[in-house]
Amino acid sequence: MTGSKRTVATLAAVLVLAFIWPQQPAEGETEAPLGATQAQEAYIGTFGQETIAEVLASHGVKLHPEDRASAFPDPAFGLGTTVTVQRAPVVSLSVDGSLVPVPTWSATVGELLDSYGLALGEKDIVLPPRDRVVRDGLIVQVTRVAEAEVSEVRSVAFSTREQSDGSLTVGTRKEVQAGALGRDRLVYQVRREDGVEVSRQLVRTERVLEPVERVVAVGTKKLSRAVSSVAPGWSEDGEASWYAIGGRHCNQGRFTAAHKTLPRGTQVRVTDLDTGKSVTVTIDDRGPYKEGRIIDLSCDAFAQLAPTGKGVLQRVRITVL
């Protein structure tokens, strides 16, 4: 090597050292410029290697699209050169359930997200904030936030009202209107973060269906226990059931019945209002005491109106003979 070439090579080496030496933050600075503290790599090129690619290939070095490479002096001079490679800082981007390493030269988190082409919703949360300076190893967390109204239906209880009924005897109760549940729609404002519900707030209640009041008739008619006080033709409507008298089986030929107030020995005709069938019985017991029931027939008497397996006749009329 001639003296002039040695001089140029020495000067080049000095300038390379100055070029690749990491910059330090100035006194009072809290954050150095992007890339100032990023690790740099230097590769020496030999005479005859006239491009950066030739120098790096000779060292088996691979460049990524985000990496920066420069050479001094220009390898085209054929004097040898030093190629400096600065790797892009790598930021870990946590979004949509994935942690993605992102090499970038973006100065801030906001620039990084824009360059990555990440679409953000109006309420999405970015941490650290968009103005934070990017550093190698930084983790950027994007939380997807969705808010929407959701509704659910809740049953509304019905009330029960009692009303006096002079056609029913004292102690008799009869449902004249069945109750029905109403429905309310409860509307909530629900917030989800990354698909997980984090809050739910009731914003309004809408009545979808009004409940139907249950109405029960309560008997007020009083009957004397004396046979002479119950005039023939007196009648009462309600349900009829049957029972085995004294635990005996049916087919005993007994046409008797129990009534809450009619005197014992009173004869009444019991008519099934749905079929027109009737049977005459004699009151010899007390009962029944279940709501809506007005007479309890012996099983033989009930069998004249319907099979005992039916259990209850819904609409009968008893008439004093």
- At residue 6, does pLDDT exceed 50? no
Distance (Å, rounded) from C-alpha 180 to C-alpha 252?
Answer: 44
- What's the pLDDT score for residue 164? 92
- What's the pLDDT score for residue 292? 82
Report whether 51 contacts 69 (CB < 8 A). Answer: no
Distance (Å, rounded) from C-alpha 64 to C-alpha 103?
Answer: 9
Write down the residue that tokens 């519900």 correspond to: 197
Largest CA distance in the chain: 153
Number of residues written out for the chain: 321
Q: pLDDT confidence of 116, banded at 50, 70, 90?
A: confident
Q: Which of 32-41, 153-162, 235-244, 274-283 has the lowest mean pLDDT?
A: 32-41
Angle at 174 between CA 162 and CA 254, to 5 degrees: 150
Distance (Å, rounded) from C-alpha 138 to C-alpha 176?
Answer: 75
pLDDT 10s digits, 194-247: 999 999 999 999 999 999 999 999 888 775 444 446 788 888 899 999 988 766
DSSP helix/strand/coil, 80: coil
Report whether 297 contacts 241 (CB < 8 A). Answer: yes
Angle at 14 between CA 10 and CA 16, to 5 degrees: 115
Amino acid at residue number 59: H
Distance (Å, rounded) from C-alpha 76 to C-alpha 16?
Answer: 16
Q: Which of 32-41, 106-115, 156-165, 166-175 has the lowest mean pLDDT?
A: 32-41
Which tokens is 300 given? 């033989």
- What's the pLDDT score for residue 207? 96
Q: Compute the average pLDDT of residues 281-286.
A: 92
Contacts of 265 (CB under 8 A, 6+ apart): 227, 282, 283, 284
Q: Compute the average pLDDT of residues 89-112.
A: 93
Distance (Å, rounded) from C-alpha 273 to C-alpha 271?
Answer: 6
DSSP 181-195: -EEEEEEEEEEEETT
User: Pairing relation of β-strands 196-209 and 145-156?
Assistant: unpaired
- What's the pLDDT score for residue 39? 66
Cα 76 versus chain centre, distance: 69
Q: Compute the average pLDDT of residues 31-54.
A: 75
Angle at 284 between CA 280 and CA 290, to 5 degrees: 90
DSSP 163-183: EEEEEEETT-EEEEE--B-EE
